[in-house]
Structure 1
Amino acid sequence: MNNEKIVRICIDDFAFKKRESYGTLMINIDNHQIVDILDSRELENVTEWLEKYPNIQVVSRDGSLTYNNAIAKTHPEAVQVSDRFHLLKNLTDYCKDFLMKYFSSKIIIETNSVKKVAFKEKGLQLPNCLLTLEAKMEKANKLLQDGLNKHQICQQLSLEFPLLNKLRKMTEYERVMYFKNSRQIKHEEKTAHKRLLIDEVIKLHNMGHSMCKIAKDLDISRHTVAKYLENDVDAARGTYGTKRKSILDPYLDKINALLYRGYTCNKIE
């Protein structure tokens, strides 16, 4: 295809192997055909790649700073727009975050948590059905060493046979990633994105850009730029993994036990 005919494109990254190697895909918006594929999403490679398409006027992309900077450098007059998927995703994420903060005073008690407290009160060992998947897998490995076959283990631990086989075929790293919950994964993704932003701020500062210009170019506040330039800046959120204190904390075990016995919220009050 003639590169000079490419005017409106959509670019996005994709994973060759998730969390390890990524590439960049270019699609012609006018005919929805794939234009080109790059085996990288690094700034220098993307910049060199985009220079091969001199007549680009409109680019649909995600929120990547790398793509933003590459497009601005190679096609400063081009219009950059967010693609529909990321617009809807961002809207959903913001709505979810707002609702989580709005309902932060409400206590959500899961059924399994209530049952665990009841077993703890009686000094009993947790039944296999209440164990986490990670704990079940540890127990399954021990039972295999004791001579039990997979069908017996699945029946004893309330595990599905295909899932047990799938987990045993995984590497240690793959199992660790599989056991992570969505909150952990989201935290790691946010931390990685923040680390990239910090690196970009430091890079621009070392190039002689003022804090005001950096803030404008990266669409962040000047206070954030100053914070990211501090020597002890850390991309990880300091409060991650810590539970917010509540006046009900001393009574949670008792509340869970009463709920397990059938008490309503009104009666507990």
Structure 2
Amino acid sequence: MDILRVTRKIRQFFVDWPIREDTVLQERYQVSDVIGAGSYGIIYLCTDLRTKEKTVVKQLRPSRRYSKKEIAMFRKEMAIMKKLDHPNLPVFIDDFSDDDQHLYYAMTFIEADNLEEQIFSGQQSFDEEASLQILYRLLKIVEYLHGKGIYHQDLRIPNILISHGDLYLIDFGLSVCENEAVKPAGQCGKHNSIEQLRLQDYYDLGEILLYLLYTTYTPKNKKALPWTEELSLNNQTVHLLKRLLGIMEPYGKISEIAADLQDAVSSIRTIS
């Protein structure tokens, strides 16, 4: 397994050269820069020569373009993107390929700052109420996705963008549609149940909230302690986190999360 991984990395190094600046794709998208690279995709900032607007183009890595599995994953991501119609999500524009069988799709560019960069490079911190407010805005997006039978499965701070208080969610490479969850809860097999997919998104929401809360934490002991001992939080916030993370009975639906989230925010405002 390790030999296969090393071989794949070496092949990627020699094959997966980014497209050069000013290259025009599909006689429409002029490449400006590489703005991201994942395990199976390279993301470019481009100018749409038709509209003169900034656009994002995602390319399936050249080293993966002959893999049926990787092609299927890329096409699945495109199919999910085509279903999205929400102001806080990227909008699918079109997909295309070239003579060398490279696969691409284009989507709208969101002019916003990455939350991870804000925290690490910008030294941005979020108090308890601010963290809960971010969770609320993210929860509304997740509610929309779940309503369309889409489970993100990769809710992390690098996939969250913020601009002037507005929050955006990106990267649907690991997302799963409801029709892929074919096995009932509790049974083993290749596919996850809808319940497992839903709970994974809820768990990720809890991880994000916990991460944000730690941005204001200053260690007082050399020895790491559980978050319940390190963080001074209101009881309602602790309750919310424990249910999201599955420490207590997990949530069954988003409306339950929203209700507890509102209680947590109200409690903080009452105290302050």
Return the TM-score normalized by structure 2: 0.25
| Greater strand share, structure number | 2
Which protein is bigger by CA-based radius of gyration?
1
Return the TM-score normalized by structure 1: 0.25
| Greater helix share, structure number | 1
